[in-house]
Amino acid sequence: MILDSFRLDGRVALVTGAAMGLGQGYALALAEAGADIVGLDRCNSDETGKLVTQRGRRYSQICADLREASVDDLNQMVGRVKTEFGRLDILVNNAGIIRRAPAFEFGEKDWDDVLHINLKSVFFLAQAAGRVMKEQGGGKIINIASMLSFQGGILVPSYAAAKSGVAGITRSLANEWAKYNINVNAIAPGYMATENTAPIRADAARNQSILDRIPAGRWGTPDDLRGIVVFLASAASDYMHGAIVCVDGGWLTR
């Protein structure tokens, strides 16, 4: 049956930024499809853990600030998942931050913090997870790109640079790792109602200008991304490599 190919029973997923927002949504969707979840976040993710276990799946959390994590730290986090659960089948590279300022005024720390979490950690977590997946005979890596993987944005130069890089990393790793049955793809969410977008949603004029461009006429929610993350994590997407899948309410069609 076709729906069986979407099942994730017996799989283990590592989701970064799992404590709230889109990351929590990804974790719950994967759990409902049958996967056990490890949530990596800089803050406590007990709420996500409770919701995962209510769905009958196991949950473990890793508390770490990716702004300060070294490559060795990232390798150890992936090693911990393998030690605790015996395997790692799915990585969702979701954790990210954003800093807003005019390009003439943009500071080095804001640049470095964003690039460290949104790009460097994405690559080195994928590298560590990919090594485990190669040994297992395959796996799924899902990076979180953005509309700014395609566009320049306004007042967010480091975020635009990082998300453009995420698209490039996704394609590069897909080229190298498809032969190992490792699928590397990305989701590019549109404008989502999350903590990151709270400042622009609070600006009435900016909020309206965004809504006016979205054919669907609304901001997205974590629920809008549940189906695509399960699809990319499952056998249903086994022939997809290097895709950047936009879930944007039609934003890019305008």
Model confidence pLDDT, tens digit, residues 207-241: 999 999 999 999 999 999 999 999 999 999 999 99
Model confidence pLDDT, tens digit, residues 71-124: 999 999 999 999 999 999 999 999 999 999 999 999 999 999 999 999 999 999
Confidence check: pLDDT of 175 > 90? yes
Report how far residue 212's alpha carbon sits from residue 187's, in angstroms, rounded to the nearest whole number. Answer: 23
- Write down the pLDDT at residue 90: 99
Confidence check: pLDDT of 143 > 90? yes
Q: What is the mean pLDDT of residues 137-147?
A: 98
Confidence check: pLDDT of 43 > 90? no
The overall average pLDDT reported for the chain is 97
| Residue written as token pair 């290097």 | 242
Percent of the chain's residues with pLDDT above 90: 96
Percent of the chain's residues with pLDDT above 70: 100
Confidence check: pLDDT of 195 > 90? no
Helices (H), 11-97: 21-32, 46-54, 71-85
- Class for the domain spanning 2-253: alpha beta
Report how far residue 30's alpha carbon sits from residue 36's, in angstroms, rounded to the nearest whole number. Answer: 8
Residues classed as catalytic: 159
Q: Where are the domains of the chain?
A: 2-253
pTM exceeding the 0.75 threshold for the entire prediction: yes
Q: What is the mean pLDDT of residues 25-29?
A: 98
Confidence check: pLDDT of 196 > 90? no
- Write down the pLDDT at residue 170: 99
Please compute Rg for the chain using Cα positions: 17
Q: What is the mean pLDDT of residues 55-69?
A: 97
Q: Please tell me the chain's helix, strand, coil percentages from 3-state DSSP, rounded to the nearest 5.
A: 50, 15, 30
Q: Quick check: helix, strand or coil at residue 31?
A: helix
